[in-house]
Amino acid sequence: MAGTMFELETDLGRRRSKVAVGLDILSRVGSLLRECDPGATGRQAGLVTDSRVGPLYGDVVRESLRAAGFELFVHQVPVGETSKAFAVAQALYQVLADHHVGRDGILIALGGGVVSDLTGFAAGTWMRGIRFAILPTTLEADVDASIGGKTAVNLPAGKNLVGVFHQPFLVAIDPKCLSTLDARDVRAGLAESIKHALITSEEFLAWHEDRAGAILSLHEETMAELIRTNVQVKAGIVERDALEQTHTRMLLNFGHTIGHAIESCSDYSLRHGECVALGMLAACRLSVELGWLGVAVAERVEALLGRLGLPTVMPTPIEAVRITESIRCDKKARGGKAQFVVLEGVGRPVVRDDIPEALVAEAYESLLP
């Protein structure tokens, strides 16, 4: 397909997914959906977006879908993490009911990780599962949230506590969408890319260090390579453990146990990637304290986070007791024990459930100003 930089077919559990990366791909999404599912033309398609992304890209996507023969309706939700909630999902269910969407319907998420999580959750639970596609518009969604089929909504007790595995049959990524992100959102999205490097590859970590300036300037070839490598890394891990039944996929949670606690305890005032950055640094320092990781690696991670504009100190301190209480409700806990991904070196992550809570608190407290 003209303009396509990269395509990948992945076998993610019970369903195959196609990931396509290309400039101006949003204008061709209707024909791409037809290629992935030749019988889809004429079906109902619901486009779910948010109040920030809809005005930017909604028209071009609607035109492409209607030109391809889809019977389209659009549903817009408020921008931000508050849209990952049961009340917002219930409103989307009502829209599906009002449009008489059957099991042959399709939902399409246009936006960042919040929109893809909400849309995927609704698609995975409506009539026990209908097909859905993702058109990610943020860097965090490009490199992480859109790949792998995890969908969820939040509860007051914690992030992503209610969800289902539901794989999109298509992910269509347009790197041009990054040009409309503010700088903070670009930086936040880089945390997941650094995470993938730390758990898989010294070479990929060094790539970030060598190209920090090009990354922050959104150099086109650099960003295409960053997206392509991250898609390959995450898809490769998910293919081996699509439903997180072993520790393989859990390795992708590096930095997320403490990061999610920071995110929920801060009432989502910080970006997800900012919290992951803080969580990764705390996990590295925890690994050092336990004697599993050299201090030079933790210092290297701190330096890279700082160069890329990600936080290395808590902007607003939160008491450690609140963080540890939140961790106890973490969805990854097994048998009442929190699961931590720690490092024995770059590319050598391990999952442990025997880390004393006091050491976790100390690792978090190292982030306090």
Annotated catalytic residue, options 81, 140, 192, 274: 192
- Catalytic one of 43, 75, 196, 272: 272
Residues in CB range of 34: below 8 A, 6 or more apart: 40, 41, 68, 69
Marked catalytic residue, from 154, 160, 230, 253: 253
Tell me whether residue 128 is one of the annotated catalytic residues: yes
Is 192 among the catalytic positions? yes
CB atoms within 10 A of CB 216: 16
Residues 263, 176, 217: CA angle, nearest 5 degrees:
70
Is residue 211 annotated as part of the catalytic site, yes or no? no
Identify the active-site residue in 18, 208, 256, 285.
256
- Choice among 18, 75, 84, 234 that is catalytic: 234
Task: State yes or no: is 208 an active-site residue.
Answer: no
Please state, as a whole number, how many other Cβ atoms lie within 10 Å of the Cβ of residue 344: 15
How far apart, in whole angstroms, are the C-alpha atoms of residue 59 and residue 92?
20
220 catalytic, yes or no? no
Longest dimension (CA), the chain: 60
Q: Which of 208, 260, 271, 332 is flagged as catalytic?
A: 260
List 28, 43, 131, 150, catalytic entry: 150
Q: Could you give the CA distance from residue 17 to residue 190 in angstroms, rounded to a whole number?
A: 24
d(C-alpha 8, C-alpha 18), whole Å: 6
Instruction: Determine phi and psi for 356, rounding to 5 degrees.
Output: -60, 140
- Say whether 196 is catalytic: no
Spot the catalytic one: 244, 344, 362, 365: 244
Amino acid of residue 183 = A
75 is catalytic: no
Establish whether 244 is a catalytic residue: yes
- Which is the catalytic residue, given 131, 249, 271, 332? 249
Q: Which residue has the tokens 């391809």?
A: 68
Could you tell me where the DSSP H helices lie in the chain?
Answer: 29-36, 53-67, 86-98, 113-125, 139-140, 183-200, 202-210, 212-216, 220-240, 247-250, 256-265, 272-289, 295-307, 320-328, 357-365
Task: Assess contact for 9 and 36: CB atoms under 8 A.
Answer: no
Element (H, E) at 340: strand 340-343
Catalytic residue positions?
A: 128, 150, 192, 234, 244, 249, 253, 256, 260, 272
